[in-house]
Amino acid sequence: MKTTVHSGTYEILGLHLKSPLIVGSGLLSDQPRNIRQLLAHGAAAVVTKTIFPDCQKTHAEQIHVIETGLLNNTTYSKRSVADWLVVLSEFRRDGLPVIASIHARTAEALGELAAQVAQVSDCPLELGISCLHADDVDDDTPERVEAYARAVRGRTTAPFSVKLALGPGLIERARSAQRAGAQAITLSDSLSGLAFDEQGQRVMLGGVCGYSGSGIKPLVLAAIHDLRRQGFELPIMGCGGVGRGRDVHEYLMVGAQTVQVYSALHQDMFGTLQSICSEFAERCETSRREVTA
């Protein structure tokens, strides 16, 4: 496989970005101030926390650090749809590169939510339909993916990505997203994970949670490589275990167009982001010198 890094403009979902590094959806992107600060500290774009019409918080959202990443029991945004519509209209006014993550309990409701977003913003969308530890996701089949994507395409012309999780039938789910009108996929959403406390007596965070971080990176890299080997051509936003500039580079090598970072930012959020950006820029410069030498 040919190794390439470059500097310049990166394109995804109609956005022309200064770098391939996008901050993914999560607790850190549930606050407009954080989104603005992440952009100011080097992110090429930011994906909002997933906007969900019927979100009811019944537990304290937490993360738990393990050796190979994070476990979290978070699902959707705490903010109302009405609140997000105001925020997104302000981001549009200010010309900020933001991707709105959205989900709903039914395909029809997701189409309606997409239409509401399109009324106030021209931002692209990411369909956060595959959060495996959420109580409304039982079986992420190709049929389910296609139904959600088709409902969104039927209500808006906004470009969108479908965020998928690793697992059985990935190529079929990816092709279903493409067939229904998606312009990209994001891979991977968090996986289901469980951990005990140090004494091995108590399950942390109450049970099965979302697992993300460095431990899933080799799996996601292999999955993207396999999708490309099977001829899947839609742009891919690689996501999982990004903590260094090298990680960004490796995602690009296997065929991702852009790369999302999230879990690593829970430690020194802005400092970590700036470090990843500078490390990747150094790789680009080294590659440029090698080419021109």
Beta bridge partners of 237: 186, 258
CA-CA distance, 253 to 251, in Å (whole number)? 5
Interval 256-267 mean pLDDT: 96
CA-CA distance, 126 to 264, in Å (whole number)? 21
pLDDT-derived band at 134, boundaries 50, 70, 90: low
Range of lowest pLDDT (59-63, 97-101, 169-173, 251-255): 59-63
pLDDT at 8 over 70: no
Q: Give the pLDDT confidence score for residue 285 in this predicted structure.
A: 85
Give residue-wise pLDDT tens across range 172-207: 999 999 999 999 999 999 999 999 988 888 998 888
- CATH superfamily of this structure's domain 10-292: Aldolase class I (3.20.20.70)
Q: Give the pLDDT confidence score for residue 200 in this predicted structure.
A: 83
pLDDT at 30 over 60: yes
pLDDT at 41 over 60: yes
- Give me the torsion for CA of 193, 196, 202, 203, rounded to 10°: 0
Query: Helix 245-254 crosses helix 217-229 at what angle (to 10 degrees)?
Result: 20
